[in-house]
Structure 1
């Protein structure tokens, strides 16, 4: 990997991404790589920069930041042979967890890029939109929506306050679901479609999801009172929530979800208003990953 495009979200991780990008670029250049830094003024500009870099033949598109900038990188390379890499510097960092990079220092993540070990991972497609970790379609999507509207506080506290605010308004929604052609109607507070296991900074909502098996894992939480959900939520961090009777899990390659008034969020970013259909596309993206031990 000698011609590297480094896509940076300078505001990610309370501004940590800018410093992480500097350190990663220094490591990459020291080892002989040519690095072009791409810093968008907003998400749309960042997407254009990423797409241009891929079209121009960059050896790798490396995202520096969190899950949002990684989603932009994924969309830029899907359908091409260009691999994406990651310098984790966000708040949630669920892509980093999924790819074995969580907690990596920028220099260590840069070495992963230079090593050039790739793995083809699955991605979720919803029309022309894509996601790599989890698609949120219920209470979790509403929390994401509220978090994005809040300017204070920063980091995880903002997400936690959004959870509290949405719990006060919690009510089950009537869903129509279709999994691989089998459809039914159900009442639920949460529907999550996992290409990877976690969202929200390590919440393992789909604990058994794998991005290399060609399947989605789907988690549905049925009607529960707010006080019950408050007890259930902490268990999501280690995946024990699936043991509750109110939680049902499925596996499918194609999932359709419909309910009024909900915007689905993929990788923590607004994706589309429901109804929508998500399809698991096996091996859709090449990703630079740590070498296997030994």
Structure 2
């Protein structure tokens, strides 16, 4: 069955979500995708399945179709959120949203494929940076825009794009009526694994990844961003590692560091900026290596971050480039947009300029 995007609001190919999942299963592994129809009391009939050349009417003929990929584990009141988003859709003249919930087995990619195959005109990602990363991986290069409804702990991509937090209705309005901004996507291969991954915010090895691994979902749900602080304190005394970098083919000799972070954007929590020169649409990846030996070194690192200085310190070093290779002498913990990916010895990264449209 052919996958299509809605380019004509009045005439689209459509299919039931269950049929889409079955048709796309071999590609996306989306057999575990959970879907919800419209709200109780306002439920519209599912569109008839047609051939790939046929047509079907939306519940509101002529209205653009939004899809919502939501991580239910990040939302306290899922029914309330659905009411809010559906209300904004009706207010702005959009069809009731296609509602797609992530699962542990499929954290967003399969749902994004279902959204594209169903002809969604925009796909809203409701979750944290990890959920957004999985959705963005599918939408990158598709021409279909991503809308952000941040509901995670860090929400760093939303912060870097100045999209408000704790306001689902406001974020939905931006997703449905904002302008498209073409942003870069970081593409990465881990060790000798064949599957390409992406990141929208930052990828890191060492201390950075240890902090993420030490703040599991249960801790973040209970303590919020404080979970990262507690995990960071625990990880401060970890060992340094021998790392070799190559930035645009320029090799940086092996040096001992606590962490190397590659960023598509530079803003952290609490207004801190790790990479002052980073821009989400500059066609470059920013790299920072941090190599303190002791607590006094960490104080120097903190001072550099607070003053946003990029040059002139042996403990904190910065580079920019289109390709980055990280090689570790021994296995190191790694993370992509806050998602731990286990121990690795090599990351091969490159920027894909302007590959993803985001509503801002």
TM-score band, normalised by the shorter chain? 0.7 to 0.9
Alignment of 1:99-178 (within 5 A): 99-103=161-165, 105-127=167-189, 128-148=196-216, 151=219, 153-167=222-236, 169-178=237-246
- 2:286 matched to which residue of 1? 217
Offset at 1:185? 1.2
Query: What CA distance in whole angstroms lies between the structure 1 residues aligned with 2:105 and 2:311?
Result: 35
Q: Which moved more, 1:201-210 or 1:275-284?
A: 201-210
Select the structure of larger CA radius of gyration.
2
Structure 1 residue aligned with 2:357, among 267, 272, 286? 286
- Where structure 1 has 5 or more consecutive residues not aligned to the other structure, the ranges are 290-294
Query: What CA distance in whole angstroms lies between the structure 1 residues aligned with 2:217 and 2:235?
Result: 13
Contact 2:184/2:264, CA 8 A, preserved across alignment: yes
- Greater length-normalized contact order (CA 8 Å, ≥ 6 residues apart): 1
Structure 1 residue aligned with 2:339, among 254, 266, 269? 269
What do you get for the CA RMSD once the two structures are aligned?
A: 2.5
Contact 1:16/1:89, CA 8 A, preserved across alignment: no
Query: What CA distance in whole angstroms lies between the structure 2 residues aligned with 1:268 and 1:202?
Result: 17
Query: What CA distance in whole angstroms lies between the structure 2 residues aligned with 1:41 and 1:180?
Result: 37
Alignment of 1:213-252 (within 5 A): 213-230=282-299, 232-233=301-302, 236=305, 239=308, 245-252=314-321
- 2:4 matched to which residue of 1? none
Alignment of 1:197-208 (within 5 A): 197-199=266-268, 202-208=271-277
Q: TM-score, normalised by structure 1?
A: 0.88
- 2:124 matched to which residue of 1? 62
Question: Residue 44 in 1 paired to residue 106 in 2?
Answer: yes
Q: Which moved more, 1:206-215 or 1:47-56?
A: 47-56
- Where structure 2 has 5 or more consecutive residues not aligned to the other structure, the ranges are 1-62, 190-195
- 1:292 matched to which residue of 2? none
Query: What CA distance in whole angstroms lies between the structure 1 residues aligned with 2:156 and 2:320?
Result: 20
Q: How many residues align?
A: 287
Query: What CA distance in whole angstroms lies between the structure 2 residues aligned with 1:16 and 1:247?
Result: 42
Query: What CA distance in whole angstroms lies between the structure 1 residues aligned with 2:215 and 2:311?
Result: 25
